Structure 1
Amino acid sequence: MTEKITILHTNDIHSHFENWPKIRRFLLAQKEQLEKQDDSSVITVDLGDALDRAHPLTEVTNGTANVDLLNQIHYDAVTIGNNEGLTNTHQQLNELYRSANFDVVLANLLDIKNKLVPEWAEPSKIITTKNGTKVLIIGLTAPYTLTYPILGWQPISPEKVLPKVLAKNKGKFDVAVLLSHLGINQDRKLAKEFPWLDVIIGSHTHHLLKNGELVNHSLLAAAEKWGHYIGRISLEIDDKHKIVAEKAETIKTDELDSLPSDRQEIKGYEVHGEQLLAKNKLAKTTMAMTTSLSGPSKLVDEGLKAIMEKAGTNIAMLNAGLFLQNLPAGVVDRNILHKMLPHSMHVMRVGLNGYDLWRLVMEMEKNHNFLIRFPQKGMGFRGTYFGELHYAGIEFDKAEGRLYHNGKLVLPENHYEIAVPDHYLFIPFFPTIDIVGENKILYDESLRDVFGDYLAKHYPLNS
């Protein structure tokens, strides 16, 4: 007698609530339908990056609104993505899952203070099906070694932690499933190195495997991003609890039925978030500040001053595409600020000698025209185009190829400090920052909050 195990999976929703009503209906209907069958068991999982602070409701609740939505499914296991782990403070992440009705499975992130898996997670979980098949669920997230320690977390590489988790569970499971927020290349690598992983469900790189992919002994599955797809894996298990057949498929949410109430629900999440954000007043400006992808920009000028104040430098660089809308005259609240700067990025202080500063500017000048309309996405950027680069504290003489700082020639042996968004460390256009920069990411505040603090200081509400 065979048993059927269905694994339903979601990933990288990124607060795209426009697809949530359809996803919820599908998952709940599938669970109800399949669980009625005597030889059928259902496991539901989410692969992380369910939240994104680009959505106002996520921003104002620090992601707890997203957890409330996940609770509607009652997932069997959820792992975290970099958006849960790196856009929340240590305390916010510790509090994020307090009301969760699902288990968070995460094996490769430790609290730096005690070197233990956080109390809101467990490295693995074993689910026993109706017919007694034991399914081991392991969760792994992308180990950002540069940024997680700043927040008090110690990431561990998958290659180091997987052998320990598998050894600890040796003899206790029949089927091993990895919830991977690592990316497609890492998934393929792990499938070759760890043949005990029967199923690897992938995310993070937003890849789509419509009908799965077999690598070594592992079935790889993935359902793209933003709730565009829902994943479904079907396993046939024999009476010895071994897999005899397997299939992965994806369901396109656009092809699922809508209800008249969906639009109202989706809009309600946005309106509620904006209303809550708008209650927090920050500053009062006497004149409008405008921006554009190219040309002079009062808003970018103020942004340059803001990041210089934060980093304690007298040089700064900023791209105009960061500002998604103008700042009108009058009271500035958190909702206005969030709409203008929805990005998940921070200010970074970069130390360079004079020659390397000149080389960095040369990289920027070379990419200048190309980047104005470059459709940037990801790595913290939540806008549309990169936009024109602006400088403060330095002037570049294109005719002579010389760089000046406050009217004086930049000298090769002198040391200079520059304020930039940490985004510049992760994009490929300015390699000097990564190769030779003395980089310190100021992770205590988002770029949005840095600009809000600057406005509150220089344009106070009571002015």
Structure 2
Amino acid sequence: MKKFLLIALIVTLSIFALAQRLTILHINDTHGHIWPEGEFGGFAAIATLVNQARMSNPNTIFLHAGDINTGVPESDLQDAAPDIVALNLMKLDAVTLGNHEFDNDANVLAKQMNIAAFPFLSANIYKDGKPAFTQYIIKEVGGIKVAIVGFTAQESEILEYLYAKDYEWKEIVEVAKELIPQLEAQADIIVALTHMGSNPVIVGPNSWELAAAVDGIDVIVDGHSHTFYERPEVINGTLIVSAGEWGKYLGKLDLDVVNGTITFVSFRPIKVENSITPDFAVATVLDYFKKAGGEALNVVVGETTIKLEGDRNVVRARDTNLGYLICDAMIWKSGADIAISNSGGIRASIAAGPITYRDILTVLPFGNSLYVIEISGADFMKVLEFTATIAAGQGAMPQVSGVSYTIENGTVKDVLVNGEPIVMDKIYKVATNNYLASGGDGYTTLANHPGYDTGFVLADVVVEYVSKISPITSYQESGRINRVK
């Protein structure tokens, strides 16, 4: 039976008598922000709100629109186990795979899925010609059959280059056009749990474009763009909702379902205030993990037999081995051609001996993310010409990888990209941090070029790279930028 989503509330005696109220609670893009932060109460407060909603209406489902991973050290170091255990206690019904679920290798994702008491959904990710994950589930809630189908942004293959490339990323609209009619035959309501966002994307559709292109989706619960909705967006008869980021809000959508007709009742983003009484079980578990995560900051992630130079007066005057290592890590993680970073973002050296996660956070304390820009050789030459104007002692002093050049009398010459002369009309991928990508420290030429934020915390990228190359017994410390006086 064809279903119609009615945006105006229509109440008749017959509908009132027969309608079943369905409540959809949802969060997205939590990124490890599961403990109280400032005015927000974290997952323990969300658990209280979820429990209250279920008491008010037993016909309630609770969904997460992706990106459980990456953002808070105590969570990251434990592979998001605290997040998943808390969501288990909260009886999450399903999560869709976000791009940051591919920040780690397949073994970590498999472990997370094994811990979870809820399914990880995505219909458009394939491996070896078959769906790599559960595509959809159908839950019966108070007599209402609810189909929940997952879709993950196609651009994840680009954003999470290192591990997402191991999968086949199907065209979402094509998959949806095949699946949705099948689900219509089995369910009363179809919810697309998407990690696609409403912003422009590199490849494939965003959630709004999916709604416009595919008939039959009743509700889209979305993530990825961290968009905060005060009210649903309605496109092609599909309600689209999202709850911002970091568990700051819990989205609450109420619908009435009767005789194949779905009637919108209300939508409210509930602020997760720190004044909300936390759920005891969730708070207790998260307190334990918080302590364990703090201890994890002292876990050894690598070893060096040499000093990795990041002292302020040195790194802001010349190339250093630590500056090179950070930029090399950027290329290793992103697959970019070139990397450039500002020395002002390097706040300490690493002494010879064991390297802990805390050491790397001390070097890179700002929480910057890894950003990839597409830029022509001619425009990148302008970036290099800017670096020739930077005086010793300034935070803008560059550290680079994948490129070498000479500065002589304020002029840039002999530019090589991976050993080959720079090509002015070629488009290069340049890895940097999100601060420089926005034009920070005077790098205005980097701004306003096509590109994307990988979402990787730069410190975490360096942790991975150090773990890979340890023990460090030597490291290049000069030769990439030659300054001739």
Query: CA, structure 1 residues 270+288, in 2 after alignment: closer, same or farther (shift >3 Å)?
Result: farther
1:132-180 deviation per Cα after TM superposition (whole angstroms, max 9, x unaligned): 2211111111112332776411112221211121133231111111111
Counterpart in the other structure of 1:257: 276
Pairs aligned (count): 416
Higher RCO (C-alpha under 8 Å, 6+ residues apart) = 2
Query: CA, structure 1 residues 388+81, in 2 after alignment: closer, same or farther (shift >3 Å)?
Result: farther
Amino acid at match of 1:76: D
Query: CA, structure 1 residues 287+169, in 2 after alignment: closer, same or farther (shift >3 Å)?
Result: closer
Residue segments in structure 2 that go unaligned for 5+ positions in a row: 1-16, 200-205, 439-444, 452-459, 476-485
Counterpart in the other structure of 1:91: 107
Give the CA RMSD over aligned residues: 4.5
**Equivalent residues of 1:81, 1:181 under 8 A apart:** yes
Is structure 2 residue 132 aligned with structure 1 residue 129?
A: no
Is structure 2 residue 181 aligned with structure 1 residue 167?
A: yes
How far is 1:22 from its partner? 3.7
* Length-normalised TM-score, structure 2: 0.71
Amino acid at match of 1:389: P
Deviates more, 1:134-143 or 1:316-325: 316-325
Q: Distance in 2 between matches of 1:72 and 1:297?
A: 52
User: Which of residues 139, 151, 154 in structure 2 aligns to 1:140?
Assistant: 151
**1:417-432 equivalences in 2 (<5 Å):** 421=431, 430=446
Amino acid at match of 1:252: K
Q: Distance in 2 between matches of 1:210 and 1:98?
A: 35
1:170-218 deviation per Cα after TM superposition (whole angstroms, max 9, x unaligned): 3111111111110114222222222311111121111111122222311
1:428-452 deviation per Cα after TM superposition (whole angstroms, max 9, x unaligned): 85599989xxxxxxxxx94433245
**1:313-392 equivalences in 2 (<5 Å):** 317-320=339-342, 323=345, 325-329=347-351, 331-339=353-361, 340-341=363-364, 345=370, 357=377, 359-365=379-385, 388-391=397-400
Counterpart in the other structure of 1:396: 407
**1:257-296 equivalences in 2 (<5 Å):** 257=276, 269-280=289-300, 282-284=302-304, 289-290=309-310, 296=316
Query: CA, structure 1 residues 448+362, in 2 after alignment: closer, same or farther (shift >3 Å)?
Result: farther
Query: CA, structure 1 residues 157+447, in 2 after alignment: closer, same or farther (shift >3 Å)?
Result: farther
Counterpart in the other structure of 2:481: none
1:337-365 deviation per Cα after TM superposition (whole angstroms, max 9, x unaligned): 441456665999x9x9xxx6564232454
**Equivalent residues of 2:308, 2:350 under 8 A apart:** yes
1:309-346 deviation per Cα after TM superposition (whole angstroms, max 9, x unaligned): 9979xx96431369453135354433234414566659
User: Which of residues 55, 71, 84 in structure 2 aligns to 1:67?
Assistant: 84
Q: Distance in 1 between matches of 2:421 and 2:162?
A: 35
Query: CA, structure 1 residues 200+292, in 2 after alignment: closer, same or farther (shift >3 Å)?
Result: farther
Counterpart in the other structure of 2:68: 50
Query: CA, structure 1 residues 306+55, in 2 after alignment: closer, same or farther (shift >3 Å)?
Result: closer
* Length-normalised TM-score, structure 1: 0.74
Amino acid at match of 1:82: N
**Equivalent residues of 1:394, 1:404 under 8 A apart:** yes
**1:85-234 equivalences in 2 (<5 Å):** 85=102, 87-111=103-127, 114-118=128-132, 121-130=133-142, 132-144=143-155, 145-146=157-158, 147=161, 151-185=165-199, 186-234=206-254
User: Which of residues 15, 23, 26 in structure 2 aligns to 1:9?
Assistant: 26
How far is 1:221 from its partner? 1.0
Counterpart in the other structure of 2:261: 242
Amino acid at match of 1:335: Y
Find the residue that maps to 1:192 and give its secondary structure.
helix
Is structure 2 residue 472 aligned with structure 1 residue 457?
A: yes
